[in-house]
Amino acid sequence: MMVIDITNLKNIAIEFGCKFVENASMKDYTTFKTGGNCPLLISPNSVSALSEILKECNNSNIPYTTLGNGSNVLVSDDGIDGIVIHIADDLNKITLLDETTIFCEAGVKLGTLCNFASENSLTGLEFAFGIPGSVGGAVFMNAGAYGGEMKDVVTKVYHVDKAGNEGLISGDNLAFGYRTSAYEHNGYIITGIELSLTKGNQAEIKEKMAELLGKRKDKQPLEYPSAGSTFKRPEGYFAGALIEECGLKGNQLGGARVSEKHAGFIINYDNATSTDILNLIDFVKETVENEKGVLLTPEVRILR
Ligand SMILES: Cc1cc2nc3c(=O)[nH]c(=O)nc-3n(C[C@H](O)[C@H](O)[C@H](O)COP(=O)(O)OP(=O)(O)OC[C@H]3O[C@@H](n4cnc5c(N)ncnc54)[C@H](O)[C@@H]3O)c2cc1C
C-alpha cells in the first residue's frame, strides 16, 4: 500500500463541511459487503468542494477512486490504494428545468429520480426503477434494464475533470455503449445530469414501475448481498442461461455462491471475501469457456 498524506484533503473537507471517514471499511460502502479499507473516504457536498479536492489530488499526486452507491463494484480485500471520492447523498438536488427536462445531481439514487419523474407525470425512466445505483454510477455504466438504458434519456452530463475544472459533455460525445460511456475512459467525476423525458399518464407510469420492481423481486436474489449481474451479456447469449446450462447454480467457493435463483448473480452467501468472489468469477468464466466456447466478461468493476 502506498503512503499518502491526507492532511490537506481533511482540511478541505473540514473547510467545506464535507463528511469524511479515515480508514474507511469498503464493506460499508458496497452492496457486495466485502473489501478492505481505504485511508480516506470523502463525500463532497458541492461541486466547488469536489473541485478543490481534485485540485489537491492533482497537485499532490494522490490517486482517487470514484464511488457512487457501490452497487457495481468489487473492492479488493487489500483495500484501495489512494482516496475514495464518494458521490452520494450529499449531492442530492433534483429540479424540473421545464415541462419535460429534469436536472439531477449525481448522488441522487436512481429510485428517487424515478419517483420524481413519476410525480411529475414524466415517462421514459420506468426501466431504471429498482436498479440500486446513484445517478452518477448509472450514467458511467449506462445502466439499463427491460429494454431501456440511461442513454435513451440523458442529454447532458456535468463533471469535474482530474485537474478540478468543471465541464460538461452532451449528445454523441457521451459515447454511450453497452454498459459504458465516455466517463469510463476520461476519469472525470460526474456531478449532475440533464434528462429529457415525455409527458405521460401518471397511473400508467406508476403501474409500469411497480410491475418491473415485481419482476426483479421474483427473479433476483435480492435477499443476499451482490452487485447484480456479474457478467455482461455476451452477444447472442444470456450469461445466466450459459452458467445454468453448465450446472453451476449453487456452486460455492468460500462464502461466494452462484445464486440458485438467478445463475447470472454471484452472491455473498456466507461472509464471503472479495477473493472468494474473484475466484468464483474465474471458475465460472473458465467453465463456461471450456464447455460452451463463450468468453464471459465481468460487468462488475474491480477496484483496488
Ligand atoms: C441487485 C442489483 C440489481 C442490479 N440491476 C441492474 C440492472 O438491472 N441494470 C444495470 O445496468 N445494472 C444493475 N445493477 C448494477 C448497478 O446497480 C448499476 O451498474 C448502477 O448503475 C451502478 O451505480 P452505482 O452508483 O452503484 O455505481 P458504483 O458501483 O459506485 O460505481 C460503478 C462505476 O461507476 C463509477 N462511478 C460511480 N459514480 C461516479 C460518478 N459520479 N462519476 C464518475 N464515475 C462514477 C465508479 O468509479 C465505478 O467504476 C444491479 C446491482 C444490484 C446490486
Residue identifier of the C-alpha nearest atom 37 of ligand 1: 137
179 is catalytic: yes
The pLDDT of residue 304 is 87
Beta pairing class for 94-98 and 101-105: antiparallel
The pLDDT of residue 3 is 79
Q: What is the DSSP letter of 27?
A: G
Number of H helices, E strands in the chain: 8, 19
Chain centroid to Cα 159, Å, comes to: 16
| Residue 16: count of CB within 10 angstroms of its CB | 16
Q: Which three cell numbers stand for residue 116?
A: 420524481
Ranges in the chain, pLDDT < 70: 1
User: Taking Cα atoms as reference points, which of 139, 142, 143 lies closest to residue 168?
Assistant: 139
CB distance 239 to 264 below 8 Å: yes
One-letter amino acid at 285 equals K
Give dist(CA 179, CA 193) in Å, integer: 17
CB distance 97 to 120 below 8 Å: no
Which pTM value belongs to this model? 0.97
CB distance 292 to 242 below 8 Å: yes
Pocket of ligand 1 (CB under 6 A): 31, 66-73, 87, 106, 131-134, 136-138, 140-141, 143-145, 183, 189-190, 220, 222, 226-228, 301
* CA geometry: angle 236, 240, 241, nearest 5 deg: 65
